[in-house]
Chains A and B, each alone.
Chain A
Amino acid sequence: MRAGRYRLRMTVAPGVDAALGRCVEATRSLFGAAACSIALVDDDGGTLEFVASDGAGADEIVGVTIPVSRGIAGWAAMSGQPIAVRDVQTDARFARDVAESTHYVPTAIYAAPMVDADGEVLGVASVLDPVVDETSDWTLHVLGTIAGLMALVTTATAGADPAGQPLATLGSDVLRVVESWQATDRGGTE
């Protein structure tokens, strides 16, 4: 199923800071991916709720909740380790019904836990069908680092910590850097 058949846009859940939307927008662009999303762990630690997404199925996935033990995203949350799965369609435990409800069923998924400064897993960042070299773990390192930044943004925008407010602009800063880098890269290769 190709991403191009579907409307591509960034979506955030009500009450969620737009900075997280800018984060997924930048990350999807960086990876040349069909979609990127953020799912946050609920207060009880038992479910993940998709709160921000950009790309294929963004409108449909935001607001969806899944048990934290489910799917590739749950796998990353549980183990605390980034993971890349090349063909999720062979995974019997892949949350296929969730994917189909978004009208986009990916082939590959990269997922990394979003860990806060106290070491708690706040959520998971997922990238669907990235256009990257899958023969190194460089992509996992990059996604893991970005997921850490997303955790900072989540913490800064969810609480009342005034010192954290500058972090709310981090998402747009990341997007600006990525766009700048891509523009430079395109200019150098044409």
Chain B
Amino acid sequence: MSNTPAWSAAFDRGSLEEVVGLPIDRVREWAFGGSTGADIKVAVVDSGIDADHPRVGGIAGAVAFELDPDSDLGYVDREGPHDDLVGHGTACAAIIRSLAPEAEIYSVRVLGANLKGRGALLHAGVRWSVEHGMQVANLSLSSKSETMFGPLHEVADEAYFSGTVLVCAANNLPGPTYPSQYASVVSVAARPGDEEMALAYNAHPPVEFGARGIDVDVAWADRGSITATGNSFAAPHVTGMVALMRGKHPWLTPLQVKAVLQAASINSVTG
């Protein structure tokens, strides 16, 4: 029986392969040093955010997408404060806040009290993020629906070309999940370690980056915290790094962001 972890296998120190990154001098200092993520809009496309949680520290805005069979699109969007129905979004937002304390975090709620229409609402949330000029969007959720492959691919491409970096948690389920599978996004899996700014690049994608996601102390509902493991918690670490990077270098495109993340990875060497 193999004792090989899933995507994390690629990020184990013992098996981490070197990759050739751009020759940026002191890349981590160049990318992140001194940045707080100020003026950067970060969307957390998830179950909502408890804005009053002390580890979240407030949010800049919120919109909730809900199914509505009477509307043309099959759903409606409601702008304004809302609760986190599950706890997932609050956990992600707090991680982002810990890395990028001055980022403008927006709660884009696409998960509600019902599982119906998950894929369509996920698509709507990503589209909202693009249309509202989010510089980075965290997607610690995914769809395995083949019918959503095309629509999510299309909106992921729109995000890429319009400047919204989509940071997507990989999934430990068999088979592809979307949008984490697309080349236009930054896909992330969990790797061990306590360093919240640690980053590794996978020499054998589709999952490209590994970040802290195992036994992470995360914010939880009712102002609490728990210790949890999952790719869901690795993605917001990278989202926070992207917010720092774009706060310092607003001109960076998604193409350039990914290249800098690769260069800033611990297994990156210069050619």
Q: What is A's interface to B at a CB cutoff of 8 Å?
A: 41, 44-46, 67-69, 74-75, 77-88, 90-93, 112-113, 115, 118-121, 134-138, 140-141, 143-145, 147-148, 181
Cα separation A74 to B226 with both chains bound (whole Å) = 16
Residue B201 interfacial (CB < 8 Å): no
- Assess whether A137 is in contact with B174, with CB atoms less than 8 Å apart: no
- Assess whether B141 is in contact with A134, with CB atoms less than 8 Å apart: no
Q: What is B's interface to A at a CB cutoff of 8 Å?
A: 1, 3-8, 46-47, 85-88, 111-116, 118-119, 140-148, 169, 171-175, 177, 189-190, 192, 213-215, 220-222, 224-232
- Assess whether B226 is in contact with A134, with CB atoms less than 8 Å apart: no
Cα separation A46 to B67 with both chains bound (whole Å) = 13
Dominant secondary structure of chain A at its interface with chain B? mixed
With A46-B114, A78-B111, A85-B228 already in contact, 13 other A-B pairs whose C-beta atoms are closer than 8 Å? A67-B113, A69-B85, A79-B88, A79-B232, A80-B144, A84-B229, A91-B226, A118-B147, A119-B147, A120-B145, A136-B5, A137-B7, A145-B172
Shortest distance between the CB of A175 and any CB in chain B (Å): 16
Residues of B within 8 A of A92 (CB): 220-222, 224
- Assess whether A136 is in contact with B173, with CB atoms less than 8 Å apart: no
Given A46-B114, A69-B112, A137-B7: A115 and B47 interface contact (C-beta under 8 Å): no
Residue of A nearest to B172 (CB): A144
Cα separation A77 to B115 with both chains bound (whole Å) = 8
Residues of A within 8 A of B171 (CB): 80-82, 144
- Assess whether A137 is in contact with B173, with CB atoms less than 8 Å apart: no
- Assess whether A137 is in contact with B111, with CB atoms less than 8 Å apart: no
Q: Can you list 6 A-B contacts with CB-CB less than 8 angstroms, sorted by A residue number?
A: A45-B114, A46-B113, A78-B88, A82-B171, A115-B173, A120-B145
Number of A-B residue pairs with CB-CB distance less than 8 Å in the complex they form: 163
Residues of B within 8 A of A85 (CB): 226-229
Given A81-B171, A91-B224, A118-B146: A75 and B86 interface contact (C-beta under 8 Å): yes
Dominant secondary structure of chain B at its interface with chain A? loop
- Assess whether A135 is in contact with B85, with CB atoms less than 8 Å apart: no
- Assess whether A75 is in contact with B88, with CB atoms less than 8 Å apart: yes
Shortest distance between the CB of A92 and any CB in chain B (Å): 4
Residue of A nearest to B218 (CB): A85
Given A93-B221, A137-B189, A147-B173: A86 and B214 interface contact (C-beta under 8 Å): no
- Assess whether B229 is in contact with A140, with CB atoms less than 8 Å apart: yes
Cα separation A88 to B220 with both chains bound (whole Å) = 11
- Assess whether A81 is in contact with B174, with CB atoms less than 8 Å apart: no
Residues of A within 8 A of B147 (CB): 118-119
Shortest distance between the CB of A84 and any CB in chain B (Å): 4
Residues of A within 8 A of B119 (CB): 119
- The 6 lowest CB-CB distance pairs between A and B, nearest first, are A119-B145, A141-B6, A92-B222, A119-B144, A45-B115, A144-B172
Residues of B within 8 A of A120 (CB): 145
